[in-house]
Each structure stands twice: as C-alpha cells, then as structure tokens.
C-alpha cells in the first residue's frame, strides 16, 4: 500500500469549499470516472462510479470534520483505497490537504507505485478544479 498527499491554499472560506466539495463533484473533478448514481443514506453518501469496463461504489462520510471516502467492496480497481480531504484556515484562504492510501487489485510488478502515481494525479486534478472554481 502507498500513501500520497497533495495540498494547496485556496482563496475561499472553509464553508464555501465544503459546499463545493460534495461527493459527485469530487468524483467528477478527479477526472478518471463518471458518476452513474448517488445514494444519500443516513450515515453516508454512496456514489456509483463508472469507467472503462468497471463500475464500483465510493462511500463518502464526514469524519471529525474531514471528508473521508473509500472504495466500497472489491469491485473496483483497488484492493484498498481511502482518502481524506481536510480543510484548515490559512493566512490567504483555506489550506486543502488531500491524503490517499491506495493498493492496486491487480498483481502487477510495482502495481502499488503505479496506483499511487495515478491517485496523486486524480487528487491534484481535484485541487486544480477547486482552485479554478474560486478564482
């Protein structure tokens, strides 16, 4: 398993960012998958993500003020994937930190490194989309 972290200060308040960071928007902004369906539950929001030849659920929860999400079940590309999005006041806005742990489900040499590289790109695209939304 590998962990990646990306962070950026965005010129917006935590409340503004929290409103923008809803589960379907997060999945779309990461850029790898499309949103097929959204299931609002009492304790979580489950987004059914689709991509080339695959469909899998992502479960989003609020954990101690952070947005936490994970691939639910074993239908997706990862044997393990979990991500935390944390917002913290900063001098010029809000520091947005995205931390993700990932392990690829396919038995490839260096598979976890490849998964981490791809996941870091997705998290970076999310930060870019967030920053663009508040420019």
Average pLDDT over residues 72-101: 91
Is 134 strand, coil or helix? coil
Structure letter (DSSP) for residue 12: S
Average pLDDT over residues 98-110: 82
Query: What digits encode the pLDDT tens for the residues 49-71?
Result: 998 888 999 999 999 999 999 99
Domain count, the chain: 1
Look at residue 6 in the predicted model and tell me its pLDDT: 98
DSSP characters over 31-69: SS-EEEEEEE-SS-EEEEEEETTEEEEEEEEEETTEEEE
19's CB contacts (< 8 A; 6+ apart) are none
114: pLDDT strictly greater than 90: no
105: pLDDT strictly greater than 80: no
Query: What digits encode the pLDDT tens for the residues 26-43?
Result: 999 999 999 999 999 999
The answer to whether 7 touches 87, Cβ cutoff 8 Å, is: no
Q: Domain range for residue 93?
A: 2-133
Name the pTM for this structure: 0.93
Q: At what angle do helices 111-133 and 23-30 cross, to 10 degrees?
A: 110
The answer to whether 104 touches 115, Cβ cutoff 8 Å, is: yes
Question: The CATH number of the domain where 98 resides is what?
Answer: 3.30.530.20
């Amino acid at each position: 398993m590998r962990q990646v972290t990306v962070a950026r200060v965005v010129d917006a308040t935590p409340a503004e960012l929290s409103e923008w960071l809803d589960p379907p928007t997060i999945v779309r902004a990461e850029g790898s998958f499309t949103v097929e369906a959204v299931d609002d539950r009492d304790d979580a929001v489950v987004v059914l993500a689709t991509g080339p030849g695959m469909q899998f659920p992502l479960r989003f929860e609020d954990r101690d003020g952070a947005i936490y999400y994970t691939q639910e079940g074993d239908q997706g590309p990862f044997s393990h994937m979990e991500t935390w999005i944390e917002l913290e006041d900063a001098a010029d806005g809000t520091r947005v930190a995205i931390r993700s742990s990932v392990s690829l489900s396919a038995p490839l040499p260096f598979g976890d490194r490849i998964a981490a590289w791809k996941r870091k790109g997705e998290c970076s695209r999310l930060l870019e989309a967030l920053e663009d939304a508040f420019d």
